[in-house]
Chain A
């Protein structure tokens, strides 16, 4: 499986049409999600980041991510 550093993940912030986000070490492709249009979610979150902490505060369960393909792992 492909690995991403935080710096590499930042390239996929949705501005180029590809939006990846990380959660608990896994990198998800959310490009096709209505809620991640242009790489922005709820006016508060930008793709290309590790959202593990933010997801703990979100008004939805992390299992919503299960419908999105995993494209890699986030490494330090």
Chain B
């Protein structure tokens, strides 16, 4: 626990208990998404599916990185992860990204992926709004994650025909924004 760090955040007017609940819920969303994306990725097959498999994999790995990056901040602020994995799953900030009934429907899988990313974008925008100018470290972390979630959303959105993402996919290493929290 980082006592002075917590004191600074409280003094700035942030409700630390509420913030911790948000961080834990979003950490749960990241780890459960990592799990559910594993299943989605495995089902992205065939001519259409293989096209999307690589970005689903990048998003999957980066979501796990987000979980890893969030955990230290949760403990720094005096919080902890639930002891039960079931409890952790069920407190997720976002609904489970489960495989659509028709697992061969690539568009339906893409819709699940984009909705999961949109939930994450809303969640981290909320955390940024709460912490901006008050809790600099959590803000920096949430903003870094937000940058990656926005890119994930735009990749899947592009494949759904909603318009160009405006940027390339990853070339080489994953998590260009969050990696500084993983070292």
Contacts and interface: CB of A to CB of B under 8 A. Distances in A.
Q: Which of A34, A35, A43 has the most CB of B within 10 A?
A: A43
A31 B93 CA distance: 16
B122 A43 contact: no
Contacts of B25: 42-43
A59 B126 contact: yes
B125 A43 contact: no
Contact of A43 (B22, B94, B121, B129): B22
B83 to A, nearest CB: 19
Contact of A42 (B22, B95, B121): B22
Given A42-B93, A59-B121, A59-B122, 19 more contacts: A34-B95, A35-B95, A42-B22, A42-B25, A42-B123, A42-B126, A43-B18, A43-B21, A43-B22, A43-B25, A44-B18, A44-B22, A57-B129, A58-B126, A59-B123, A59-B125, A59-B126, A59-B129, A60-B122
Contacts of A42: 22, 25, 93, 123, 126
Nearest to A59: B125
Interface of B: 18, 21-22, 25, 93-95, 121-123, 125-126, 129
Nearest to A58: B126
Q: Which of A57, A59, A60 has the most CB of B within 10 A?
A: A59
Nearest to A44: B18
Query: 4 closest pairs, A vs B, by CB?
Result: A43-B21, A59-B125, A34-B95, A59-B122
Nearest to A40: B21
A33 to B, nearest CB: 9
A68 to B, nearest CB: 15
Contacts of B123: 42, 59
Contacts of A59: 121-123, 125-126, 129
B134 to A, nearest CB: 15
Contacts of B122: 59-60
Contacts of A44: 18, 22
